[in-house]
Amino acid sequence: MSSTDSRAFGLIVIGDEILSGKRADKHMARVIELLAARGLALSWTEYVGDDPARITAALARAFAGPDIVFSTGGIGATPDDHTRQCAAAALGVPLALHPQAADLIRERMRDTAREQGVAYEPDRPDNQHRLNMGVFPQGASIIPNPYNKIPGFSVGDVHFVPGFPVMAWPMVEWVLDQRYAALHRTPSTAERSLIVFGAMEASLTPLMEAVEKEFTNVKVFSLPSVDHPQYGRHIELGVKGDTRLLEAAYARLKQGVIDFGASIGPELVR
């Protein structure tokens, strides 16, 4: 496994409920936090509805690419859950009941029966149906679920967790810590910016390009606003990246704004 410089992290969020607005996506913000706590960053997110063809295409891209990808949602056993089947289709492999997943699901069913004060009936049709939640693409490995023992699964660097945040987030943490501990690093990036008045993005582009060329491990960003409640029309112009270079890059950027003749407002540190 190579360094973080050559490994990007992606997120696929699956579910009609997200695209219809019935539920707001909470996964992206949390995954960003989990990665940042380990000195890592999210490079991209893709949202896909419950359409098997689109899910299969998205997963095929994930399997074929070099990125480490988390996929949330659609791994249950109801008619609108397609992720497990689409993952197998994208890989061109059959689905199979994972023995360890089956054991965990049966353990969960026994726990539930005990909590309800009833006998555990493994051959009851609904209990047999629950085993479908352990049917994964052949060759998959499991991701433990500390909430209710029903596991997710991994194939290579693509990792599948439920859509429920209470289950998904600790499972993502487990994958990051168990599979990618070697990629963790002490957070060494920061961000500095300033509010600029009286300039257009296009006119500041040469300055931005010059700063990025001079400081190769620093990125320059601009966030224009036309109706900010506090600053009105302005541009937030800043740099983010390696803390060892940040102050020098920021000083270069700030001096360039001054030389341009624009007005400088508040300065921000994140």
User: pLDDT of 42-100, one tens digit each?
Assistant: 999 999 999 999 999 999 999 999 999 999 999 999 999 999 999 999 999 999 999 99
Higher-confidence residue of 185 and 212: namely: 212
The domain ranges of the chain are 4-183, 189-269
Evaluated on CA atoms 86, 91, 92, 93, the torsion sign reads: negative
Residue 150: CB partners within 8 Å, gap ≥ 6? 104, 105, 108, 133, 134, 162, 167
Count the helix, strand and coil residues of the chain and give each as a percent rounded to the nearest 5: 45, 25, 30
Task: Give 207-249 pLDDT, tens digit per residue.
Answer: 999 999 999 889 999 999 998 888 899 999 999 988 888 999 9
In whole angstroms, give the CA distance from residue 220 to residue 15. Answer: 34
Q: For residue 35, what pLDDT is reported?
A: 94
Torsion sign (Cα): 92, 94, 99, 100:
positive
CA distances from 17 to 50, 76, 104, 163, 238 (A): 9, 15, 28, 11, 36
Strand spans (E) along the chain: 9-14, 42-48, 68-72, 95-97, 135-137, 141-143, 152-155, 158-161, 189-197, 218-228, 232-242, 263-269
CB neighbour list of residue 139: distance below 8 Å, 6 or more residues apart = 93, 155
The mean per-residue pLDDT over the stretch 241-265 comes to: 92
Question: What local confidence, expressed as pLDDT, does residue 188 receive?
Answer: 67
Residue 25's alpha-carbon distances to 119, 213, 220, in angstroms, are: 38, 36, 28
Q: What is the dihedral of CA 99, 104, 109, 113, to 10 degrees?
A: 130
Rounded to whole angstroms, the Cα distance separating 70 from 55 reads 13
Name the CATH architecture for the domain at 189-269. 2-Layer Sandwich (3.30)
Task: Decide yes or no: CATH 3.40.980.10 for domain 4-183.
Answer: yes
pLDDT of 90 reads 98
pLDDT grade for 33, boundaries at 50, 70 and 90: very high
The mean pLDDT of 153-173, rounded to a whole number, is: 97
Does pLDDT of 4 surpass 60? no
C-alpha distances in Å from residue 63, one per residue of 59, 68, 70: 6, 9, 11
